[in-house]
Amino acid sequence: MTATTKISRPNDLSAFWMPFTANRQFKQTPRMLVSADGMYYKTDDNRDILDGTAGLWCCNAGHKRPKIVEAVKAQMDELDYAPAFQMGHPKAFELASRLAQLMPGDLNHVFYTNSGSESVETALKIALAYHRARGDGQRTRLIGRERGYHGVNFGGISVGGISGNRKTFGQMLGGVDHIRHTYLPEENGVTRGMPEHGAFLADDLERICALHDPSTIAAVIVEPVAGSTGVLIPPKGYLERLREICTKHGILLIFDEVITGFGRLGAPFAVDYFGVQPDLVTTAKGLTNGTIPMGAVFATDAIHDTFMTGPENMIELFHGYTYSGNPVACAAGLATLETYEEEGLYEKGKELGQYWEDAVHSLIDLPRVKDIRNLGLIGAIELEGIDGFPTKRAFSAFLKAFEKGILIRTTGDIIALSPPLIIEKSHIDQLFGTLREVLKEID
């Protein structure tokens, strides 16, 4: 198509530049989803596709849930938009209160965003501004972790540690460093749940502190369970040790719970599951069950109250978004929380955890399976790569799985699974029975 050519058909595929997609391959053989209900998508050729990924880790309560649908419809009839700068609307405060009650400890304050990427940017900015507000402005350094994923904005890819998300875009933020990732395949290969070995990896933060001086470090950000890199489970004692080191040196600890939040591990948050409280928590995805874009950052009383000084007519934090606390998103969030609570979905990962774990590990006998990892209702099957063709084997599995009626997610040569929390044993049987067929058929 030339630069002056205009698209003449409304369903021409060329106009949409798709995110994180092999666009040319997709547009040659499109995979179109046209509706969804419960655990299943429907394709344009009228096939049912079992959702093994909760959309993109976000539809935790499944699809087309009545309470959420009705809440969104009703809100559109009542109030479609209200500015969040110097104005408010009731549901924004109601949802924030409900969220604060759900989060343990003194993480009592909620700042709204529109995505996980924005939540990360917000948390990083709050961390920097907090130290400055308390007279500790030399704390400007941010520490991420190798193989970490924290969204796609410049702050997120700077503290993130996945090279493919960084190399194309040149210069990252300055003043950023990374601690080691938590994957020790020789010691912890084919692990059920949390690995026994590796708590010492948290001590790599002490190396960073010695290199840069801890008084210059503002915050450390980690995913409690690294998701997008291929499901890396923290070793026993690792997060506790990370918390100890941060407290020792006055460094803020940020948990990125965009994936683990809202029931994925069999508890409302990873904060609950691991019993480790950070200073800031980023969330999104499951907050509205994927229906309306929304994210939220939780902050402790100490962080929030540090900003609440000076003249009362002055803005305390020069940050925010046009759609922060959007009324329709808030309505969806409230209905989503009610759905989780009424259906006991926060506990579903605990109830089905063993059955899920056994199903994930049932694939270990297949010839090209290299490693398997799981926690809660998350699983990863790592495949042997093809020399000279990274990602090809897993992508072939993805395409074959779609043909056979299941939706999986791949990252590198790793298959990642994170189904809606409404999943039943019969769905687990279907998912892994089909996946076994797929892995037997691919080269």
For the sheet containing 378-383, what is the strand order? 369-375, 378-383, 414-417, 409-411
- Indicate whether 410 belongs to any domain: yes
| Cβ atoms of residues 368 and 10 within 8 Å | no
CATH classification at residue 379: 3.90.1150.10
Residues 305, 371, single domain; the answer is: no
- Indicate whether 270 belongs to any domain: yes
Q: How many Å apart are CA 32 and CA 166, to the nearest integer?
A: 29
Alpha helices in 172-283 (DSSP H): 185-188, 204-212, 238-249, 270-274
Residues 82, 138, single domain; the answer is: yes
Number of Cβ within 10 Å of residue 82's Cβ equals 15
Task: Place 170 in a pLDDT band, splitting at 50, 70 and 90.
Answer: confident
Q: What does the pLDDT look like over 192-251, one tens digit per residue? A: 999 999 999 999 999 999 999 999 999 999 999 999 999 999 999 999 999 999 999 999
| Cβ atoms of residues 317 and 309 within 8 Å | no
Is the alpha carbon torsion for 239, 242, 243, 244 positive or negative?
A: positive
| Cβ atoms of residues 41 and 407 within 8 Å | yes
Q: pLDDT value at position 109? A: 98
Q: What does the pLDDT look like over 140-159, one tens digit per residue? A: 999 999 999 999 999 999 99
Task: Place 7 in a pLDDT band, splitting at 50, 70 and 90.
Answer: low
Residue 1 has pLDDT above 50, yes or no: no
Residues 51, 76, single domain; the answer is: no
Structural domain span for residue 30: 23-61+347-441
Token pair for residue 365? 């006998």
Q: How many Å apart are CA 59 and CA 299, to the nearest integer?
A: 25
DSSP assignment of 212-229 equals H-GGGEEEEEE-SSB-TT
Q: pLDDT value at position 8? A: 53
Grouping H, G, I as helix, E, B as strand and the rest as coil, residue 442 is: coil
What average pLDDT does range 334-356 have in this prediction? 97
- Indicate whether 158 belongs to any domain: yes
Q: Closest Cα to residue 113, out of 147, 151, 158, 169?
A: 151
- Indicate whether 7 belongs to any domain: no
Residues 50, 89, single domain; the answer is: no
Q: What does the pLDDT look like over 18-29, one tens digit per residue? A: 999 999 999 999
Could you tell me if residue 412 is left (phi over 0), alpha (psi between -120 and 50 degrees) or otherwise beta? Answer: left
Residues 356, 334, single domain; the answer is: no
Q: Closest Cα to residue 181, out of 142, 140, 235?
A: 235
Residues 98, 161, single domain; the answer is: yes
Q: How many Å apart are CA 142 and CA 163, to the nearest integer?
A: 17
388 to 149, 236, 369, 391, 431: CA distances (angstroms): 25, 35, 18, 10, 30
Q: How far apart are the first and last CA of the chain?
A: 35
Bridge-based pairing of strands 217-222 and 141-145 is parallel
What average pLDDT does range 408-416 have in this prediction? 96
Radius of gyration of the chain (CA): 22
Residues 6 or more apart in contact with residue 331 via CB below 8 angstroms = 71, 72, 74, 75, 91
Q: What does the pLDDT look like over 374-387, one tens digit per residue? A: 999 999 999 999 99
Residues 274, 404, single domain; the answer is: no
Instruction: Write down which residue in 311, 327, 342 finishes a domain.
Output: 342
Provide the domain count of the chain: 2
Residues 360, 230, single domain; the answer is: no
The residue to which tokens 């299941």 are assigned: 406
Q: pLDDT value at position 11? A: 74
Question: How much of the chain exceeds pLDDT 70, in percent?
Answer: 98
Is the alpha carbon torsion for 416, 229, 245, 236 positive or negative?
A: positive
Residues 215, 363, single domain; the answer is: no
Q: What does the pLDDT look like over 108-130, one tens digit per residue? A: 999 999 999 999 999 999 999 99
Instruction: Write down which residue in 278, 309, 342 finishes a domain.
Output: 342
Bridge-based pairing of strands 369-375 and 141-145 is unpaired
Token pair for residue 70? 């009705």
Instruction: Write down which residue in 342, 361, 395 finishes a domain.
Output: 342
CATH classification at residue 111: 3.40.640.10
DSSP 63: B
Is the alpha carbon torsion for 268, 273, 279, 280 positive or negative?
A: negative
Q: How many Å apart are CA 52 and CA 427, to the nearest integer?
A: 9
- Indicate whether 17 belongs to any domain: no
Residues 336, 373, single domain; the answer is: no
- Indicate whether 261 belongs to any domain: yes
Q: How many Å apart are CA 66 and CA 274, to the nearest integer?
A: 32
Q: pLDDT value at position 4? A: 60
- Indicate whether 275 belongs to any domain: yes
Token pair for residue 218? 């503002």
DSSP 232: B
Residues 241, 263, single domain; the answer is: yes
Residue 2 has pLDDT above 60, yes or no: no
Most distant CA pair in the chain: distance in Å? 68
What angle is formed at CA 194 by the lines to CA 191 and CA 196, rounded to 5 degrees? 80
Q: pLDDT value at position 23? A: 95
Residues 381, 284, single domain; the answer is: no
